[in-house]
Structures are given as C-alpha cells and as structure tokens.
C-alpha cells in the first residue's frame, strides 16, 4: 500500500485498517493524518496546504475510536477533547457510536461533553440551551 501524501489519504487508509480490525495500525495512520498537508488553506506560496477543520475532526474522532477499541480511556478522552476543540458538534454521534462504547463507560466522558456545552441527551445541546434562554 503506498504511503499517503496528504491528510485525506491517510484518513482513508486509516479507515480501511480500522474496518479490518487493525486498530493500532489505523491509529498510527490517523495520527499521521494530523501531520500531513491537508486540503485547507494555503497560507504561504512555498508551503503545503493546512489540514482542514473537517480533516482534523475526522482524524481526532477516529483516533478516539481507536483508543476506545484498544481500551485506553485517558488517551481516547484526550482525542475526544481535541475533536471537540476542533469544532466537532455531533453529540448524538459521540453518545451512540458503538466504537466509543469503552470511552462512554468512563465517568469523565459526559463531563467532557458538558465542558464543551453539548448538553444532556435530548436537550438540544448548546443551541437547544440558547433557545430555552429565549423562551422556546
């Protein structure tokens, strides 16, 4: 398999490895995605494009899934936090994705979502709480 040249390629290879049950190898590829050029902005003419927000979120989400499957809660929760810091907002996916089952068993998981104002299941998350504040 050829080495990926950009973040998108590394994420694609990582997903193939992950789906084949090779979680450690997939983890390495998702981490590599964070280090490779992306499809984002090109700030300098002589430099590669930056990794896009979507690529960063995808890599970090999948890193969390890998750590969850490998039974490493602390590292997995750190990846979830990074994903949220990168702008990921799908609390429902975080609360239901079977690949994150191990991480959800950790008492710190829900607190992490609260810290990023993703709310409790069914409350509409951050935007739902804003609407409640406006009488909806």
DSSP calls for 8-65: HHHHHHHHHHHHTT-HHHHHHHHHHHHHS--SS---STTSPPPPPHHHHHHHHHHHHH
Provide the pLDDT for residue 132. Answer: 40
CATH value of 7-133 in 1.10.490, 2.30.29, 1.10.150, 1.25.40: 1.25.40
- Across the range 19-35, mean pLDDT stands at 96
25 against 114, higher pLDDT: 25
pLDDT tens for 103-136 read 999 999 999 988 887 755 554 444 444 434 444 3
Provide the pLDDT for residue 26. Answer: 97
Which residue ranges make up each domain of the chain?
7-133
Provide the pLDDT for residue 120. Answer: 55
């Amino acid at each position: 398999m050829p080495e990926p040249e950009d973040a998108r390629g590394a994420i694609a290879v990582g997903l193939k490895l992950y789906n084949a049950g090779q979680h450690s190898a997939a983890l390495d590829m998702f981490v590599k995605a964070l280090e490779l050029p992306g499809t984002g902005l090109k700030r300098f003419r002589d430099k590669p494009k930056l990794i896009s927000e979507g690529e960063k979120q995808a890599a970090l989400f999948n890193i969390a899934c890998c750590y969850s499957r490998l039974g490493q809660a602390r590292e997995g929760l750190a990846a979830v936090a990074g994903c949220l810091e990168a702008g990921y907002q799908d609390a429902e996916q975080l609360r239901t994705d079977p690949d994150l089952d191990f991480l959800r068993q950790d008492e710190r998981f829900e607190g992490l979502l609260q810290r990023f104002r993703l709310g409790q299941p069914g409350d509409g998350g951050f935007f739902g709480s804003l609407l409640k504040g406006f009488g909806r």
